[in-house]
Amino acid sequence: MGSIFSIAILSAGASVLAAVAADNFLSQRIGVMGSFAGLQYSLNPGVAFGISFAPLLQLSLIAIALLAVVWMAYRSVRSAGSQSYKLQAISYGLILGGGIANIIDRLPDGLVTDFFQVGTFPIFNVADSFITIGVVLLFWEVMRRKKPL
């Protein structure tokens, strides 16, 4: 579990630093690929894809989700083989780090700083990217372990 928490701390730190940088330096949109992709400052009161709930319910759902990921990481990594362990540790570390970073970002004002804009997809941040990458890696690991019929 040590490597999971190391990865979580590193990814949370990088995510929080990126959000602080966006808060302090991103005052207008910066096009990276014209109007298709760029850096655009946005404050998000909701959870995934801007979906919002009542504040207490939203905080409860976030806490439950984070605890569920910790529990799944503990159970999964404990029973994983050495090859699977590395990928699962990275995956869970990224998910936990991203979740923790979004909670830290939300603490002062209830808002999460988002700043990556791609097409019509909702604006997102580094923490969201880490969470997504972690989920995709876990899914890939599950599919890789499945034996053909």
Please give the positions annotated as active site. 114, 128
Task: Give bridge partners of residue 112 from the DSSP assignment.
Answer: 44
What is the maximal distance between C-alpha atoms in the chain?
Answer: 55
CB 135 within 8 A of CB 87: no
For tokens 């990865």, name the residue. 7
In the chain the beta strands, taken as DSSP E runs, fall at 30-33, 37-44, 112-118
Contact 131, 95 (CB under 8 A): yes
